[in-house]
Structure 1
Amino acid sequence: MNRLLTLLFALGLLAGPTFGQTADNPSDPAPAEYTFRFVAGDDMFYIPWSGNGEELDRLLACIAQNKAAITEGSVPVLVDGYCTSQPSEAENLALAKTRSNRVKTEMILRGGLTEACFRTQNHADKGNFVTVRLVIPATPSEAELEAQRRAAEQAEAERLEAAKRAEEERLAAERAAEEAHRAANQTETVPPVLEEARAEEPEKTECCAMGLSLRANLLRWATLTPDLGLEWRICPSWGIAVNGSWTSWTWSDKDRRYALWEVAPEVRYYMGEKKAWYLGAMFKAGQFNYKLSETGKQGDLMGGGITAGYQLRLNKALDLDFNLGLGYLNADYEKYEVIDGVRVRRGNETKDWWGPINAGVTLVWKLF
């Protein structure tokens, strides 16, 4: 058996130059298909036998030239194994698979490829060999490359021209809309000198402009207690306000009485972009005389607390101020009864109150 294999090996070396190589000139670029011969019934890949060495060198050179495309997957490596020396089809396919793996091992070790680069098929016909094919796309000619370059340049020029036209149309539309808006809002002709002066003036938000305002708490007026006040906006964020209330009512032949006066100064800090919300600190002092039942109460009150509110703008001259105050009040008073038109004292009392001390829905009129 060894003598037979040696004889076949020697015959293969002699027949290799005419039987193992393809018809391509070795000086020509590497072909896309390569064939590797195997001894019948054997799975060993004898590289020096039957021209396999020269074929492998040409394959490795082609792999090196196209390795980037192969590893990226754009150039697949097709491996087909063939075997007809075994008694059954299954045995032929198994031996063809082993031979394909032997050839792929050389490409992995010497060419730096991976198993993912191959597409392998095995066959039980045709003979005892393995073919390797590289599907290399044709290289475009210089004329084709020039045509592609010109087409790309033309497409880019058309894109830039379309973008330029779109930008010009957008700017024209913005100018037209701005002119229409200006024409709709223009109610009087402003001399150029005044227009320049206005442009130089700093912008001022009308809702938080400085000035003096007259105030009237509508809730107090609803209880027949006249209430008026003033607020001075020192700056857009700070204001000083003072409100005063006074009333004096009697009925049932002066047996019933409702009278008071109050003064409530307040410091406010306005917040937000429109300066509509505010927090403040209030001081309150006054006197009262209530007799709504058999016993009347007459005395002094004093206290203060924290206020908060929101000013709703109605127009350029009017605002509506919603406010609430929480804090402490102290009332020191005498109790009395009226007998035959004469007040009869019934003792003193002092009370402390923690909670709401002020509430208002106030109409604000901006004087200047």
Structure 2
Amino acid sequence: MNRIRKITLTGLLLLFALLPLAAQEKPDTVYTFRFVTDKDMFYVPFSGNDKELARLEECVERYRQDILAGKIPLHVDGWCTAGESEADNLAMAKVRSNRVKSELIIRQELTEACFVTKNHSGSGDYVTVRISVPKVATAAQKDERQQDGQESADTQQEQRETEESRFVAEQIRADSMVVVHPEAYVPAETTGTAAEETSGTDSYTLSLRANLLRWATLTPDLGLEWRISPSWGILVNGSWTSWSWNDKDRRYALWEVMPEVRWYMGKEKRGYLGAMYKAGQFNYKFSATGKQGDLMGGGITGGYQLRLNKALSLDFSVAIGCLHADYKKYEVIDGVRVHRGNDTKNWWGPVNAGVTLVWKIY
């Protein structure tokens, strides 16, 4: 009878010891956060990111003390395939990793020391967070170790494994491709320009432009640029003006539309080369003979964007190519325009110049 009681009691102890263990987090759990292609913003509701973040926060909350003490590091891996080169991918992956880490720093009050971060080019557009939770021995297992005289040896083995894990973690952190201080993190609610501060790349999605040289000649000029990727942009500028003086004997009027495609170069994506096209009409009368007609042409553009702050830049540009103009000559006699013939002219050389104020909308 005593023997049956002992067996029953041992079975119950094993059952109650295993129940809490079944509810624990898996020893090695990976949380995946998806990103929109060509975007570095961390959209929490996107593709189940909100549920994944809730699961991660629950796990972090459970092991907060060990995470803050450095016993359980959070391994963050950023991935990107949207860039034109490996450097672009690594820069984008870096920003994405920082977005995810900033959420945890803000929500869970963690620090940079809690993370081991690495970024990669290729494979996809996502960030993974991996938590390696150490196995916890049950009370029954400890009793068995004590009975077998193994607890002392196992404890020493666990200490050695812990020290080796810490050494490996420190080596990974030293070799990490991202070294970011907590104050450099950008909350997910901020605009894309904050990502530029983190990555060093002067990239944006949409900007409003105004050529100050045009405005200086009393010719209003406005434009838009769409950066389809960090390396490529499509923009269009438009100008219009209409002035007359000296009892309408003098005239300065024109309109122009100038689309352009640009390739941004270098690590910071501020210098560029491009191709532009120009079309419009003009009416100039600065002397006795006026000229009115159409123009069109194009050329190769080049320039550099000088960053002023997070939202503003100055774009210095010049275009060299050819302009073709068909126009009529005229004179004004007693208030009546008198036709004086037609002419055509081709111009080879600088066809456009700009000192343009760029306002990055997002």
**Structure with the greater relative contact order (CA < 8 A, sep ≥ 6): 1 or 2?**
2
Q: What is the TM-score with the length of structure 2 in the denominator?
A: 0.47
Structure label with greater radius of gyration: 1
